[in-house]
Amino acid sequence: MNFIFYLSCIIAFLVVQGYCLSDHKINQAQNLSIISATTYPSGQLRLTINAFDTNYDLHLEPNHDLFHPQAVIYQDGQSFPMISEGAYKGHVNYANTTLGWARILIQKRQDQSLLIEGAFRIHEDIHHIKSRDAYHRVKRFNDPNVHKDSMVVYRNSGTIWSNQASHHQCGINKLPIIDEKRDIAKRTEKGCPIAKKINYMGVAADCTYVQYYKSKEAARLQILNDFNIASALFEETFNVALGLINMTIMDPLCPSKVSIDWNRACEPDYSLYDRLSDFSLWRNRLGDDGAGLWHLMTNCPVGLEVGLAWLGQLCNTGLSEQTEDDGKVRYVSGTSVSSITQDEWKIVAHEIGHSFGAIHDCNASSCPCSSDNCASCCSLSETQCSAEGAFIMNPTSNSSVERFSPCSINTVCSLLPSIATCLSDPQQGSRHSLRLGTCGNGIREEGEDCDTGGKESDCCDVKTCKFINHAVCEDLNDACCHQCQVRPSTFMCRPSLSPCDQAEYCTGTLPTCPPDRYEKDGTICSNMDSLRCASGQCTSRDQQCLARGYTMNITRACSVSKEECKMLCEYPDDSTKCTLFSADFLDGTLCGTDGKCLNGLCLEAQGTQPSLSPAVLVTVIMTTVVLLLSSFGCWLWIKKKKSRKQQSPQLSACSSLTLVDNCVCK
């Protein structure tokens, strides 16, 4: 009997041990409930919420600093005033004691109940609030499932980390160094403003970002949430709040004919570096629009690199060039870019930190440093090199950090007096003048017939964005336009890009190309049976892992994760380990027995029930094996010892091994 029980434990361990992740996981997530909500005439709001079995009072007020008085949203070729309702800031109270800050986004649902998202800090522990849909959209396969209610809360202290160096990375170290004057002895905290200032920013969401969040409205809310939370960190640290003056949201369907260079689908030969350079060139064409920085939101990271920024370019609306060794020119301006991650606001804050002048904190890989290379990172102090990954400017992401290091604070504060020429006082935002229609930015907006982005055209006046020469369309803006006239219906305006993508033809009456159409998901599209259609692409799990991880020599998906729709890819040097990217397999990718991925979940053929994740399946298998073996043992024992009644002690000897399915590779 002892042998049987030990054998069952060994079997369970061998089944599970190869299913480790070189990433972090949320150990605990719970439903969040609103106990009460009281609104005061002044606009202040008091929310009593229950999180982790404790009631907290959130004392909130509208965050007017988040919105420029003339802030606008550009989408669908039109501009709209940015609605300043729903974003709140304040603090957390418990037993009449203030515990930390709170940044909350509030929406009213159809039944008039409240849906809240955001974050609040209790001492040094940040609690994140997401809608259930938002949580499941970015959850990793081994994060807890939360099925009830509509809001989820999890906290940094409930995050388990591995020691693998395969976390998300910032790629700024690969960019040319613009300013090398980084003498540690000259760093000082003096220079940060005594009175609060606001850095108004422009934010653009490319097609891949909007596509991930499924709608322009969902993308807008996510951006507001990111900047509302990130602003708390900058205001607390540098006395500079982050505000929004412009939000440009692109269509979720990536164009087959690229007109705005940074707004395109993910491509292996178009890096995050390329996207930032093109975004900088585009930003320069906007001129002095009142934005101290522009930030691009995308879902096209390269490998583990999820963000980039030009160092110390706060308030730079101009343009400079960097020429690489191969002769390729990169454009530099006050810009940054970040990709989608679980705690997206931290990547946003990290990259904006670079724009403010902060460099990466030193870590174990850069220490000890000599006098020649210490300038490449920020030492914790004059006596200690490594900051040990404890701060937000760590080169790799860490979900448990939310502060700038003393070195970063000193660096930024010493630079602000010389670069922060565009910051506004909270009551002086109206002094900026933002044109609702910016002719020349390459986006055709309300009131414009055309917009070539400053390129000369026979169809469009580049100064007024109006048709000329009897034009009815603009070749650069419209796929079914040729020499300023509508093309015939025989013209193919969008060729097939893969066996899964149907070609589209002009209508003969409209200058725009009809919507993209695809072959049915799951259709065999190659002589290789493993390649199937998914969202218009002829692909497979391995192909998607290769596209995302080629810079890391990743070529295959994890063989044990076919039930999963989170992007789990095989570690290049160890097939027993998996790297988890902050992405899902494409909608329509095969999964489970006969299912397809949709929004990161595996839906079986009937389309109603998500299949079980591998961790759950392993637990079920292990439990079944143990129960069967236990039953068999009990039957043998009863047969031999009918007259005696006792409980087998061996069951508890291996029950703890069920925790192995949550292991993290070391």
Of 235, 344, 351, 519, catalytic: 351
Instruction: Read off the amino acid at residue 662.
Output: N
Question: pLDDT tens-digit profile of 118-160?
Answer: 999 988 788 989 888 877 777 766 677 776 667 888 886 655 4
What is the SS3 assignment for 76? coil
pLDDT at 148: 64
354 marked as part of a ligand binding site: yes
Nearest alpha-carbon partner for 172 in 356, 329, 308, 353 = 308
Beta strands in 554-606 (DSSP E): 566-571, 574-584, 590-591, 595-598, 601-603
Whether residue 511 is preceded by a cis peptide bond, meaning omega within 30 degrees of 0, is: no
Q: Active site includes 321? A: no
Q: Which of 106-110, 162-166, 324-328, 427-431 has the lowest mean pLDDT?
A: 162-166
Element (H or E) spanning 48, and its range? strand 45-51
Cα dist. 210→136, 266, 599, 602 in Å?
17, 13, 13, 22
d(Cα 84, Cα 63) in Å, to the nearest integer?
Answer: 8
**Same-fold call for 191-359+408-419 versus 532-603:** no
What is the SS3 assignment for 75? strand
Task: Look at the alpha carbons of 453, 459, 460, 466 in this order and tell me if their dihedral is positive or negative.
Answer: negative
583: confidence class by pLDDT, cuts 50, 70, 90: confident
Burial of 161 (0-12, 13-18, 19+ CB in 10 A): middle
d(Cα 327, Cα 309) in Å, to the nearest integer?
Answer: 21
Mean pLDDT of 256-276: 91
- The 3-state DSSP composition of the chain as helix, strand, coil percent (nearest 5) reads 25, 30, 45
The full set of domain ranges for the chain reads: 2-19+614-662, 25-160, 191-359+408-419, 532-603
d(Cα 190, Cα 182) in Å, to the nearest integer?
Answer: 16
Write down the residue that tokens 């003056």 correspond to: 245
* Correct CATH for 532-603 of 3.20.20.140, 3.40.1620.60, 3.90.550.10, 3.40.50.300: 3.40.1620.60
d(Cα 83, Cα 67) in Å, to the nearest integer?
Answer: 8
Q: Are 633 and 583 in contact (CB under 8 A)?
A: no
Residue 178 has pLDDT above 60, yes or no: no
Measured between its terminal Cα atoms, the distance across the chain in Å is: 34
Mean pLDDT of 495-523: 89
Q: Are 585 and 543 in contact (CB under 8 A)?
A: no
pLDDT at 511: 92
295 marked as part of a ligand binding site: no
d(Cα 464, Cα 22) in Å, to the nearest integer?
Answer: 54
CATH 3.90.1150.10 fits 191-359+408-419, yes or no: no
How, if at all, do strands 240-249 and 67-75 pair? parallel
pLDDT at 620: 38
Tokens standing for residue 68:
């420029």
Question: pLDDT tens-digit profile of 337-361?
Answer: 999 988 899 999 999 999 999 999 9
What is the SS3 assignment for 512? coil
What percentage of residues in the chain have a pLDDT greater than 90? 34
Q: Are 119 and 127 in contact (CB under 8 A)?
A: yes
Q: Are 64 and 71 in contact (CB under 8 A)?
A: no
360 marked as part of a ligand binding site: yes
